Each structure stands twice: as structure tokens, then as C-alpha cells.
Amino acid sequence: MTYAELAARLEVAGQQQVLAFWDELNDQQRTRLSAQLEAIDFELIKQLVQGEDAAPDWAALAAKAQPPRAIRRDSTDNEFSPEEAIARGEQALRAEQLGLILVAGGQGTRLGFDHPKGMFPLGPVSGRTLFQILIERLRAVAKRYGASIPLYLMTSPATHEETVAFLAEHDRFGLGKDDLRIFCQGVMPAVDAQTGKLLLAERDSLALSPDGHGGTLAAFVKEGCMADAQRRNIEHLFYCHIDNPLIQICDPQLIGYHLLASSDMTSQAVKKRAADEKVGNVVTVDGVTQVIEYSDLPPEYGRQTQADGSLKLWAGSIGVHTFRRSFLERAAGQKNSLPFHRAKKAVPYVDADGSEVKPTSPNAIKFERFIFDLLPLAENAIVVEVDASDAFAPVKNADGEPTDSPTTAKAAMVARDAKLLQDAGANIAEGVDVEVSPLWALDAAEAAAKCPTDEITEATYFV
């Protein structure tokens, strides 16, 4: 696109301010800025700024919200039994019908770590990174079922290069070359909250950020992963986030419920510990399963209880889903199948005079898509409850925060692994940290034959 064409396009969109420093830029800088601008759908930005895609009336939806169709941990009248689910899931794993989508494109702003979150050393004894922790779990599951389970790892421009280099340096933590495909998600520009104008992060660069974990859908198709999954006859994709070390990757039971229920999308959920817990609420409204974010759920609906005193809207989403591949294909083929959510954020920018501004309060709007917004499109969607202590300890905040920090996640890993060892017959001295590599034992049954007979009296990594 020539400068004249670009300028004309920006004028129509009312966004000429991004060319304010054009005359000062060298060729390379001009190429960079033009490439960013050419990738932008200005019509979409205009609609989003003008709020033409009006957000739903959350209060009205919350008023009608019911608990979702679910397999509950303590219920005796679930639709399917755990035994039949495990058998069905194991069968699909052995038949190599599963792939894993692991999303690691987030900027991890709250954690404040200078590298992709997957590179964060979290192993309480081993110091293993999140990448290693999750990839080892995948390898252990694949080994158990004598199957290949390809990993589709999503990065973003913010995390891509470092992730690629890190995994190459560590030989993909043992994953076969053919079993790893790294794909990069798209970006969205931030706009000034008052004016809707695009912001410059630098004179030659827009303020861009990853387009949310919902960006997985478009990127999975665009980057050739869907075609790869098709070629491999992968029928279902297990989806999860990089920031939870306890994820039960490709859990046969979850997969089994998904298959038995003929579900397009099956979500794992935990029983909320508090009415205002900061997790998305999986609910059913007029028969449609969907997530209402904690920030959108009016407290009076969050607090509602059932006859036994437990929370009515109990299901907290943990970002673990299983998708039927054909469902993802259908959703990807549908224009705007995922809405954009807005978030007001403090975004540094270069002002009209060329000075760098670092706002301390939110000045801009970022637009993100969320993967859980696929739920309303799914046929036979079902939720499967898991025990948080077994499956959910996210690393969101920096140490020092009371919840969801590296310290709380490490403690959860130690507690889970100690229980696994104790169930296998081990005797662990009070206050001693233990950590188990899933390649050593995926569960207590596997650990039983290998457990030390002497009391474990010092921090030990079982590997």
C-alpha cells in the first residue's frame, strides 16, 4: 500500500494521528508502521468504539441464570458414571483422537515476570518451568496410552520468539518434533478511552496487544493447525492455559464425559469457594450454557443459595475445555462467532508532541475475545466439576498477593503431590516439600510400586 493509499484509508477512519511522525521515520520504521496499519480492520474498530456490538444486559441474564448441565462430584444422580467416562476417554486417547491446545500468548502483566509466563520457574523442589511441568504431564499421558498427542502451543507477538528459542534450547522438554506446533495469535490495537483514537506505543508502532485467548479460534485455522489436526484425524482438542500447574492434561474422565454426552464443548469447573470469587460463572440461561464473568455478575445473584445452603451459581470456570474439532471448524467459519470484551487499562503511549506518557490510571480500551464465549454455540455443552486442590492453582499475581501467586501455586503442587505419595503408601515428615514428575508417576497407583519405604525427611523431587 502506498503512503497516499494508507493516508486516505486513515482519513476515512478518522485515525490520521498515527502518521504524525511519518516524516521523521526511516524506511524500516515506515514499513513496520504500515504493516501494522494494513492489518487493522478499521470498520471493526469503529463498531467497537461506537459500541454497536452492545454488551448484553448482564443483570437481566443473571436474573434468569440457572446452574449448568453438569456432572457433580458429590451427586448420585449424574448422567454417567466416572468408570464409564474413564473407559470411554481412555479408548479415545488410545485411538489417537486427541490433541492439546495450550495457550501461552498472554502478557502476564499482573505477575510482572519479564519473560513468557511458561518460562516461570515454578516447581517447588525442582524449579521446573511451567512449560516443563505441563509438557511432562502431556508426555506421561501419551506414554500411558501408547499414543501420540500433538501439542498446539499458542504464543502471541509478545511471547513468540522467546518461547520458540526456549523450547528449542530445551529440546522441547522431550516432546517429539512432529508433536509440537507453535502458532502465533493475532493482536488488537488499544484506543484512547475518551476519543476512540488508536494509540502509538512508539513513533513507528501502534499500541497493540494479543487479542485474548478467544483469538485461539482464528489463529488455529489461519496458522494451519486445524488442517494439521484434520490430517491426523484428531477428533477432539483438549484446551488449557499455561498458568495452571495442576491441569489434568487430557484427563480421560473429562474426555469420556465429553464423548458420552455427545458434547461440542465440555468445560471443567470448580465449586466456587465464595459468592464473589474471581472466576467466570458457568451458567445456563434459557437452556443456553454460557459464562458470566465475575465482574458482570451482580452480587445479589452471585449470593443466591440452594435449599442445602450451597451457592446456586456454583460453577467457576478454570479455563479447561474439550472441543469437538468439527465444532471449532463450524464456529471458525461463522463471522464474529466470538464477541469482543472491553477492558479499561493503563496503556503507555506517545502523545502528539512525541513525549512518552506512562499513565497510572486506565486511559485506554483494549479489546479481547474469550474462548469460553464459544459455549453458547455448542450443542450438548456440559460442565464437569473437579476438586480445585487437584486441578486448579493459577499463577496470576506476583508474590506478596494473598491469592493466585507463585507461592500459593507451589503450596498447592506440594499438597497434591504429597497426597499422591501418601495414597501410594509413603510417609512424609511434617513440613517437608515433595514434588512428583508425572513421568515418574501420574497417579498413586503408579507411584505405589516405587515409593520409598523410609520416611521422607527432606525436600525431594521424584523424577
Cβ contact 421:434 at 8 Å: yes
Residues with Cβ < 8 Å from 77, sequence gap 6 or more?
Answer: none
Question: Interface with ligand UTP by CB under 6 A: which residues?
Answer: 103-110, 117, 154, 156, 185, 210-213, 215, 241-243, 396
Would you say 199 or 320 has its CB closer to ligand UTP? 320
Helix, coil or strand: residue 337: coil
Would you say 284 or 363 has its CB closer to ligand UTP? 363
| Planar angle of CA 88, 372, 293, nearest 5 degrees | 130
Smallest gap from Cβ 213 to ligand UTP, in A, equals 4
Would you say 49 or 134 has its CB closer to ligand UTP? 134
Comparing CA positions, the residue from 210, 247, 227, 256 lying closest to residue 95 is 256
Cβ contact 102:220 at 8 Å: no
Burial of 13 (0-12, 13-18, 19+ CB in 10 A): middle
Smallest gap from Cβ 240 to ligand UTP, in A, equals 8
**Separation between Cα atoms, residue 462 and residue 82, nearest integer Å:** 28
Would you say 301 or 370 has its CB closer to ligand UTP? 370
Cβ contact 129:395 at 8 Å: no
Smallest gap from Cβ 111 to ligand UTP, in A, equals 6
Smallest gap from Cβ 167 to ligand UTP, in A, equals 15
Would you say 212 or 302 has its CB closer to ligand UTP? 212
In this structure, how many other beta carbons lie within 10 angstroms of the beta carbon of residue 406?
A: 20
CA 438 to each of CA 132, 175, 322: distance values in angstroms, whole numbers, following the listed order? 11, 14, 21
One-character DSSP codes across 288-303:
EEEEE-GGGS-HHHHT
Which amino acid is present at 364?
A
Would you say 181 or 213 has its CB closer to ligand UTP? 213
Nearest residue to ligand UTP, using CB?
A: 106
Smallest gap from Cβ 209 to ligand UTP, in A, equals 7
Would you say 211 or 373 has its CB closer to ligand UTP? 211
**Separation between Cα atoms, residue 391 and residue 260, nearest integer Å:** 22
Question: Strand pairing partners for 129?
Answer: 121
Smallest gap from Cβ 406 to ligand UTP, in A, equals 13
Smallest gap from Cβ 370 to ligand UTP, in A, equals 8
**Separation between Cα atoms, residue 156 and residue 158, nearest integer Å:** 5
Smallest gap from Cβ 187 to ligand UTP, in A, equals 8
Would you say 408 or 460 has its CB closer to ligand UTP? 408
